[in-house]
Structure 1
Amino acid sequence: MTTAILQETMQLSPQGAGARFRPYASPNHHVTKGRYITSNDPRGYIPVYEYPLNGQWIMMDIDDGYILWTGIWKALGHSKADIVKMIDSQPDLAPLIRRVRGGYLKIQGTWMPYEVALRLSRRVAWPIRDELVPLFG
């Protein structure tokens, strides 16, 4: 059984202060910290910074900076099938991504390294750029 174990409001600080992957400060976003149990990860859980956007959860893995690209993609109004098409059209992405299937619904989807998600967001997420400040500054 999967559950959200930890929910707390985070004091936000600029990238690079303390841990490598931390959300940027934003007066317009309420970022919380969560920890979700999953058998899809060797740690047995995924610790995240998270906040809602357009009915989706925007998440960053606290330990390694992976970004839940599915949340950004769906917040833009695209379907999950479009992610598969995008990844299939760029085979160099395939070895970089992590897919979480099953378990807690919030963490399911395609996760990408921070740098990859940042580059893709610059190309396709212009309409929600202000909403991605906690992730990318």
Structure 2
Amino acid sequence: MRVDQLLNPVPEGERENWASVVTTVPQPQAQLPLPPPRAAYQSPRPKGQKQPKDAPIFRKGEPKGAVIFPPHEASDDDEELKEKHKLFQVYPMGEIVDYCHHIPYSSDKKTFLTKTGRDAFEVFQYTFKLPGEDKEYAVMWDYNIGLVRITPFFKCCKYSKTTPAKVLNGNPGLREISHSITGGALAAQGYWMPFECAKAVAATFCYNVRHALTPLFGKDFLDICIHPAHPSYGNFKIDQSII
């Protein structure tokens, strides 16, 4: 499916001729260089505002281990994307790479430790807000192994709490490689999914917040997002080859 077909849907009567959309995402093969910080692009974080208990903690620090999944900041000459990030109040704009965070895994369920051999998440994170709203949504991913916390994507698009489970059930094999974190740090609780799968799933329903997710998924995410008028929008189906 070409990008122009996604962004310019056909009339209602012709939809039966559309082929089903599958989203494929290339898998990173090696550690990628970290982008340099852009201090001039920084957005101020409101002070004096009470933070919720599940708010992410922002402390500057050095990454631990290989950074296989770096953030994708807007380039200096990409004024259009930077304006979109300002619209969504992305924080910290231009400095995501400086705010890595270590989150111990302390749930009573040991499935994450058993499946990954890891007892913590090493994450990059940032927040954004929907235009005209005060609620803040946190984007978080493990830069070592690419696990993405997808729960906030469903929340910001106003889906119910049961939707992530439906996504896992609707894509055979996806549940086995995803993780439901129910204990430990509140900011890390929820569903975590491998990077390629998370990007493909998000492309099926995150069109309206696509610009806010480019620091995580890259600018090409804008091209693969399915338009709300497309018949495959919101069906959460992804190519089985990604799983």
TM exceeds 0.5?
A: yes
Report the residue type matching 2:120 in the other structure.
Y
Query: d(CA) in 2 for partners of 1:75 and 1:8?
Result: 26
1:7 maps to 2:74: no
Contact 1:53/1:75 (8 A) holds in 2: no
Query: Runs in 1 of length 4+ with deviation above 4 angstroms?
Result: none
The yes-or-no answer on 1:103 pairing with 2:103 is no
CA distance in 1, matches of 2:101, 2:71: 13
Shift of 1:6: 7.0
Name the CA distance, whole Å, in 2 between partners of 1:76 and 1:88: 20
Distance 1:79 1:106 in 2: 18
Q: Distance in 1 between matches of 2:124 and 2:186?
A: 16
Give, in angstroms, the shift of residue 87 of structure 1.
Answer: 1.6
SS at match of 1:77: coil
**Closer/same/farther in 2, CA of residues 86 and 127 from structure 1, 3 Å limit:** same
Give me the whole-angstrom Cα distance separating, in 2, the residues matched to 1:46 and 1:9: 14
Match of 2:121 in 1: 46
For structure 2, which runs of at least 5 residues remain unmatched after alignment? 1-55, 75-81, 130-135, 219-243
Of 105-114 and 33-42, deviating more is: 33-42
Q: What pairs with 1:1-137 in structure 2 (closer than 5 Å)?
A: 7-8=59-60, 19-26=67-74, 27=82, 28=85, 29=90, 30=92, 31=96, 32-40=99-107, 41-42=112-113, 43-54=118-129, 55-137=136-218
Matched positions, count: 127
TM-score, length of structure 1 as denominator length: 0.80
Contact 2:154/2:164, CA 8 A, preserved across alignment: yes
Per-residue deviation, residues 71-125 of structure 1 (Å, max 9, x unmatched): 2221222222111122222232111211111111110011111100111111111
TM-score with structure 2 setting the length = 0.47
- What secondary structure sits across from 1:94 in the alignment? helix
Q: Give the counterpart letter for 2:125 in structure 1.
A: E
Contact kept? 2:61, 2:101, Cα under 8 Å: no
Structure (1 or 2) with the larger CA radius of gyration: 2
Deviation for aligned residue 1:131:
0.1
